[in-house]
Amino acid sequence: MSIKLLNILAIPNFMSIISSNIKFLRKKKGLTQQQFADQIGIKRSLVGAYEEERAEPKYELLRHIASFFEITVDDFINETINEKWAPKPKGDPANLRILSISVDKDDNENIEMVPLKASAGYLNGYADPEYVAQLPKFYLPMFKNGTFRAFEIKGDSMLPLPSGSIIIGEYLENWGDLKSGDTYVVVSKSDGVVYKRIVGKFKEQKKLKLVSDNPVYEPYEINGEDILELWKAKAYLSTELPQPAPEPTMESLTTMMAQMQRTISKLGHENN
């Protein structure tokens, strides 16, 4: 098994971008290589190696450096940062996001599964190839075109899907392709991993409305900048098989007849 890091390794001059960005941002803060090394906790020789393209920082260090300079990891590794550069708004569909995936021996993309017990750690490790490599994984031949991930859901907010169901979602790279009324696994900094129906278009508003299929739960909004990933629901797995509809009772038939009579009566009044 091997790991792929989408939207990073495919970028030309990957090391060159990181090297120039470290050097520019360090100098912009007025730090020497030694001062910068001391503040992020590495050796000065490593800073020189990174800036001269003789070495490449590991992902955890990339995140630490990006946080130190108060920019996103996406911008840090994808954008050439200089005096003319301005960060894209967080959550902008044009802003590339990092996605780690694993592949099997035949180079087929696995479907990594995020069980309930791992959902909290997923917020920190969703883009970390080492974390992704440790997730349970499987392969389904019907899901070939696209990148898919499975998430175990909890609770009764999306009935009739029972708690413990596993949602298989397709990675939504461009949030502008989001379709109002469809269901998605939403990974956000505030709510973690949730499965909801989304109402609204991302391009039209900075917030998205999340709706539960169980009407007991009130809809709520989430800021676009709070969202880390969106996965469009494509299928689900459950150990609870559907039960046949119960046989109608005299009481239920009586209720249905009463409802029909009220509806007919109401239509008659409207037509008069």
Q: Note whether 171 and 149 are within 8 A (CB).
A: yes
Helix segments in 33-128, DSSP class H: 33-40, 44-51, 59-68, 73-78, 119-125
Q: Residue 47 phi/psi, 5° resolution?
A: -60, -45
Kindly list the structural domains of the chain, giving each domain's residue range(s) and its CATH number in brackets, ordered by start: 2-78 (1.10.260.40), 101-237 (2.10.109.10)
User: Between the CA of residue 172 and those of 41, 85, 112, 200, 234, what are the distances in Å?
Assistant: 36, 26, 16, 16, 12
Kindly report, residue by residue over 182-237, the tens digit of the pLDDT.
999 999 888 889 999 999 877 655 788 999 999 999 999 988 888 889 999 999 99
pTM: 0.57
pLDDT above 90 coverage of the chain, percent = 31
Residue closest to 185 by CA, chosen among 125, 225, 232: 232
Q: Where are the beta strands (DSSP E) in the chain?
A: 2-6, 99-103, 111-114, 137-138, 148-152, 166-171, 183-188, 192-199, 207-211, 220-223, 227-237
**Segment 75-100 mean pLDDT:** 67
- Average of per-residue pLDDT values in the chain: 81
Kindly report, residue by residue over 9-41, the tens digit of the pLDDT.
333 455 788 899 999 999 999 999 999 999 999
**Segment 137-165 mean pLDDT:** 88
Q: Residue 209 phi/psi, 5° resolution?
A: -95, 125
**Segment 238-245 mean pLDDT:** 77
- Quick one: pLDDT at residue 89? 52
